[in-house]
Structure 1
Amino acid sequence: MANVFDVLKERGFIAQCTDEEGVRELLGKERVTFYIGFDPTADSLHVGHFLGLMAMSHMQRAGHRPVCLVGGGTGTVGDPSGRTDMRKMLTDEDIEHNCNCFKEQIARFIDFSDDKALMVNNGEWLRKLNYIDLLREVGAHFTVNRMLAAEAYRSRWEKGLTFLEFNYMIMQAYDFMELVHRCGCKLQMGGDDQWSNIIAGVELIRRKEAKSAYGLTFTLLTKSDGQKMGKTAGGALWLDAEKTPPYDFYQYWRNIDDADVEKCLALLTFLPMDEVRRLGALKDAAINEAKKVLAYEVTKLVHGEEAAKEARAGAEAMFGGGTAAADIPTFTLSAEEMGTKLVDFLAKHDVFASKSEGRRLIAQGGVTLNDAKVKDADYCLQEQDFSDGTALVKKGKKKHYRLRKD
């Protein structure tokens, strides 16, 4: 069996590693216990988390043991990484509810039978810590100037960084050390925005425990233009079918840019890399077949095979040119109109009696674009909204309209 480090590297997961040769050697010679943390900032995981779950699944398939850590403790503070402002403070009840939702979702991707994986909550130890003991035992191993050099803190310096958030790095480092004690954890993995926090844990273990520990980050899920992937007209792309229905989820991947297809196939499916490269090399109209494969495979992993088949059939009926599609009123969007407000365009074509009616329906949740609920009455039509030059609008539950790009 190939070393899983090589598998992750070939598929494009690995961004940074504290000791590439050391991690590769470790993963090749023993069953390694590793962990990834998930802070309960919402009641569902989103597509950014899915990348981490895929990396974790590759590791488990290679025989290693995942520790899935939900942040019942760190969630009380909130990670400042990638933030321009302080996160919303959550109540203990919200945190507990979100952690339970995460546990249920994670179990769909990771096998927890027969000690193949562990699920832990850092609230078990972080909420019991004595503050003075933490300062003396752990705080002494951190220097303020080193912490302020971390991107998560440096980028917040001008706008203000609360002392509450300043403690987050120490809490995450403590998690790693605690998992060393509890289950022999040797490796922490996470998104590349977690690099500074992961290094802090590796160094704390080396200084306080005199043990080797390793860190590895995987690439963030971004589009070819550098923007974060997973944002829609209706908000984030959630893994919960109630928040993002399987059809909406399928359509998101069906509509991604040509340049992102091969990367997403490599990161978000288990298709062999030869097939990934073949599909990614398709050009012009043929690339749409690769997008259909991507949409189906990702939806199948997240929502199950039956839901994926239903989503695919629904998309074919709506966009495939059959009888159902032929009956839908169609409006053509000129090149000059690209970027116009959706509500303005639809009012122009009498979908709404007036712009104010359109805004009212959007506020009531009665308008969807490609089956993603439109939340912003000022939303402007974009190139990415059109699959094969086509977008679908629903007014209420029964009225469908097709927008065709000129």
Structure 2
Amino acid sequence: MTTGNGKINVDVLEELEYRGLIQQVTHREELQKKLDSEAVKLYCGFDPTADSLHIGHLLPILILRHFQRAGHRPIALVGGGTGLIGDPSGRTTERSLNSDDTVAAWTNALKGQLSRFLEFSEESGAKLVSNYEWLGPMDIITFLRDIGKNFTVNYMLAKDSVDSRLANGISFTEFSYMILQSYDFYKLHTDHGCSLQIGGSDQWGNITAGLDLIGKMGGGEAFGLTVPLVTKSDGKKFGKSESGAVWLDRSKTSVYAFYQFWINTDDNDVIKFLKYFTFLSREHIAELEQALAERPEKREAQRELARDVTRLVHGEEALVSAEKITQALFSGDVTQLSEDELVEALRDMPTTVVTGESETPLLDLLITAQAAPSRRQGRQDIESGAVYVNGERQTAVDLVLTPEHRLHGKYVVLRRGKKNYFLVKFE
């Protein structure tokens, strides 16, 4: 990670610049000199607004990882304290306040997820902290006298995170968030020697407020860096799939659905996302860019993106399973999938539970599973060869399904046409 004389042997800012991952940075030359001469401690905060991080959080996490790979020491801060308040940045309305127990549970969940991406150790690795450690015990008098006195209302009103909310109104609770985050930076700078804060571009106002607080309280040299907002070429919001947000928790977004999100990346976005979300070399990315230009139909860049990000977030075994499911659904042969893989593959498909049936006419099952709007249409679909049972085309209208047709003793997979899947579970 470092050379014999302690100098960092990777220019992390230049690497981030190549990947398009720097939106704004304070005192670039001074920060460059510091990064070149020592292992810098830096932090990024993640507020527990749910029981899982989503792919919108992935970019700042990977920035921390880039710095760690270059020999620096990241601090992942989970907002156990600020999560009780709510960040107004990037929102037009107030956040709902959650209970102490809920925020505490979500904080622990986020800590577990962050440990997948960073190497945590006492000696030379990353640190994981919660700002509840210093915000929780603080009394209101101390907060107002020692910290709040360093902020003027005019200064706070000028910040985008506050100014953008004035039309719709902002509570004093969320108005104070900037001060709390600024104090986080001050505490980490003072107690842990942290001199750099990173965050999304919507955090610029909060980051610079923290720099100002450090200066006013005599904390010394500190820096801020933001990463760009991830945008898609078609104008649609990044991080959303047809079924909602794409989460890092596989119980909220299946590994297969996660893999599919990336493999469906538009040609106009895929090279940018390879730079953003992978650690692939510049040479390999250039090869994939050339392949995209010459053989776009093969979608080599998308497959590499999906493989790399899925492996990073969920591991090699999960990636293999996701690719197996993808191939099974593409070919229509679902018989080789394990029970867990079958359920994951069809988790977002229409599912019908049937009880007390030993034998079921296929035509009846099509109606029960809402795979056909009427018996007449169901009959026509079967006769035309548009109906598949467990991947096999069926053309006999009078076919009766028995327990022998059930995969793993309880599932029947119906398919109407090429892509319309329906899962029937027998109990």
For 1:176 and 1:7, the matched residues in 2 are separated by 25
> Given that residues 47 and 230 in structure 1 are in contact (C-alpha distance below 8 angstroms), is that contact kept between their aligned partners in structure 2?
yes
- Cα deviation digits, residues 61-92 of structure 1 (max 9, x gap): 11111111000100011101111111111101
> Given that residues 35 and 185 in structure 1 are in contact (C-alpha distance below 8 angstroms), is that contact kept between their aligned partners in structure 2?
yes
> Given that residues 204 and 226 in structure 2 are in contact (C-alpha distance below 8 angstroms), is that contact kept between their aligned partners in structure 1?
yes
Equivalent residue for 1:186, pick from 195, 198, 202? 195
Tell me which amino acid in the other structure corresponds to 1:304.
G
The corresponding residue for 1:70 is 78
For 1:156 and 1:232, the matched residues in 2 are separated by 28
Give the Å deviation of 1:12. 1.4
The 5 Å alignment of 1:5-404 reads 5-113=13-121, 114-281=123-290, 282-283=292-293, 285-286=296-297, 288-319=299-330, 321=331, 351-353=371-373, 398-401=413-416, 402-403=418-419
Give the Å deviation of 1:205. 0.4
CA RMSD of aligned residues (A): 2.3
The corresponding residue for 1:376 is none
> Given that residues 48 and 220 in structure 1 are in contact (C-alpha distance below 8 angstroms), is that contact kept between their aligned partners in structure 2?
no
Distance 1:59 1:153, change over 3 A: same
For 2:137 and 2:222, the matched residues in 1 are separated by 25
Distance 1:158 1:397, change over 3 A: farther
For 2:185 and 2:124, the matched residues in 1 are separated by 19
> Given that residues 279 and 287 in structure 1 are in contact (C-alpha distance below 8 angstroms), is that contact kept between their aligned partners in structure 2?
no
For 1:74 and 1:210, the matched residues in 2 are separated by 22
> Given that residues 141 and 204 in structure 1 are in contact (C-alpha distance below 8 angstroms), is that contact kept between their aligned partners in structure 2?
yes
Distance 1:353 1:152, change over 3 A: same
TM-score, normalised with respect to structure 1? 0.80
Tell me which amino acid in the other structure corresponds to 2:273.
C
Distance 1:176 1:352, change over 3 A: farther
The corresponding residue for 1:391 is none
Higher relative contact order, structure no. (Cα contacts within 8 Å, ≥ 6 residues apart): 1
For 2:109 and 2:286, the matched residues in 1 are separated by 35
For 2:169 and 2:52, the matched residues in 1 are separated by 29
> Given that residues 42 and 197 in structure 2 are in contact (C-alpha distance below 8 angstroms), is that contact kept between their aligned partners in structure 1?
yes
Give the Å deviation of 1:323. 5.4
Q: State, as a whole percentage, how many aligned pairs show the same letter.
A: 46
Distance 1:72 1:351, change over 3 A: same
For 1:275 and 1:115, the matched residues in 2 are separated by 30
Q: What SS class does the counterpart of residue 47 from structure 1 fall into?
A: coil
5+ long unaligned stretches in structure 1: 326-341, 355-395
- Cα deviation digits, residues 247-305 of structure 1 (max 9, x gap): 00000001111111011111111110221132134136346111011101100000001
Q: How many residue pairs end up in the alignment? A: 342
> Given that residues 186 and 219 in structure 2 are in contact (C-alpha distance below 8 angstroms), is that contact kept between their aligned partners in structure 1?
no
Give the Å deviation of 1:226. 4.7
For 1:133 and 1:84, the matched residues in 2 are separated by 30
Give the Å deviation of 1:403. 4.4
Tell me which amino acid in the other structure corresponds to 1:274.
E
For 2:184 and 2:111, the matched residues in 1 are separated by 18
Give the Å deviation of 1:141. 1.6
> Given that residues 31 and 65 in structure 1 are in contact (C-alpha distance below 8 angstroms), is that contact kept between their aligned partners in structure 2?
yes
The corresponding residue for 1:359 is none
- Cα deviation digits, residues 128-163 of structure 1 (max 9, x gap): 112122222222221212211211111111111111
> Given that residues 224 and 260 in structure 1 are in contact (C-alpha distance below 8 angstroms), is that contact kept between their aligned partners in structure 2?
yes
Moved over 6 A (4+): none
The corresponding residue for 2:393 is none
- Cα deviation digits, residues 81-133 of structure 1 (max 9, x gap): 11111111110111110010011111111111234111111001111112122
For 2:191 and 2:372, the matched residues in 1 are separated by 61
Q: What SS class does the counterpart of residue 162 from structure 2 fall into?
A: helix
For 1:27 and 1:228, the matched residues in 2 are separated by 34
Tell me which amino acid in the other structure corresponds to 1:48.
G
